[in-house]
Amino acid sequence: MYYSPYMLTCICTAITTVVTIAEILKNNGLATEKKVLTSTVGMKDENKGRMVQKAKIEIVLEKSDKFDKLMAPANTTESEAVADDKK
């Protein structure tokens, strides 16, 4: 059901959000950081019609050893809630 590794990729102003998400996952013990790649990509500026360079980041995360243990109570609770709703 859960696959590893995960890659979070974004450009420009979304970089802050992706870094925050990666840090939350790491700090909660759900993921470990495998690789961080940075680059620039050429994009066409809609207003001026010319190519501009935008920052891009790719963060590769892998499910931590504790992931299944930490997620098991949440999955069990959801399964029990669904079973109770069907009764």
Tens of pLDDT, residue by residue over 40-65, are: 999 888 888 899 999 999 999 998 88
**Is the distance from CB of 62 to CB of 45 less than 8 angstroms?**
no
Q: Is residue 1 part of a domain?
A: no
pLDDT tens-digit series, residues 10-26: 898 899 999 999 999 99
Residue 54 C-alpha from the chain's centroid: 20
Tell me the residue range of the domain where 58 lies: 6-86
Q: Look at the pTM and tell me if it is higher than 0.85.
A: no
DSSP 30: S
Matching residue, tokens 């979070």: 8
Q: Report the number of distinct structural domains present in the chain.
A: 1
- What are the phi and psi torsion angles at 86 (to 5°)? -75, -15
Domain CATH number, residue 66: 3.30.110.20
Q: Tell me how far apart the alpha carbons of residues 41 and 1 are, in angstroms, rounded to a whole number.
A: 33
Report pLDDT for 65.
81
Report pLDDT for 42.
93
Report pLDDT for 74.
61
Matching residue, tokens 């700090």: 27
Query: Who has greater pLDDT, 75 or 6?
Result: 6
Q: Is residue 71 part of a domain?
A: yes
How confident is the prediction for the chain on average, in pLDDT? 83
Q: Say which amino acid occupies 17.
A: T
